[in-house]
Structure 1
Amino acid sequence: MAKTSPGQFVKQVRQEVAKVTWPSRKETSISTMMVFVMVVIAAVFFLLVDQVFAWIVKLLFGLGG
């Protein structure tokens, strides 16, 4: 594999970055909000599943009060 000089590397990186289609501010904010909503939904789901499992363990083993 041929070695690339640091200057050539930087030039190639700039060429590749110029090809990127960057999201708009609106697209970024919508995606961010979607991530936060999904995190909250997942947290509530796992909280409920954990509570159900805890209830089943208490029922089966008579642990807790």
Structure 2
Amino acid sequence: MNPVAYVRQIREELAKVTWPTRRDAMNMTLVVVGVSVAVGVYIGGLDSIFTSALDLLLKK
């Protein structure tokens, strides 16, 4: 394939893309960060609970 035609097609396709606004991108980023933190806290809590339970089982 001709490299010039390839680049032209890429530009044509990128022109068709509906890019998010800055506000939309920020909102989506905050959602991703919030969900990531929530999942991390949840998994950390489960890890702490299971570690404590395992310690209790192994001490007896």
Normalised to the residue count of structure 2, the TM-score between the two structures is: 0.93
Match of 1:57 in 2: 54
Q: Does the alignment pair 1:8 with 2:5?
A: yes
Normalised to the residue count of structure 1, the TM-score between the two structures is: 0.86
The RMSD of aligned alpha carbons is 1.2
Q: Which runs of 4+ in 1 moved over 3 A?
A: none
Number of equivalences: 60
Query: For 1:19-50, what per-residue CA distance to the aligned partner results, in whole angstroms no more than 9, with x for missing partners?
Result: 10000001000001111111110111011000
Letter matched to residue 16 of structure 1:
E
Largest Rg, 1 or 2: 1
Percent identity, aligned pairs only? Answer: 33
Match of 1:32 in 2: 29
Q: Structure 1: any 5+ residue segments left out of the alignment?
A: none
Q: Structure 2: any 5+ residue segments left out of the alignment?
A: none
Q: Which has the higher contact order (CA 8 A, sep 6+)?
A: 1
Point out the structure with the larger helix share: 2
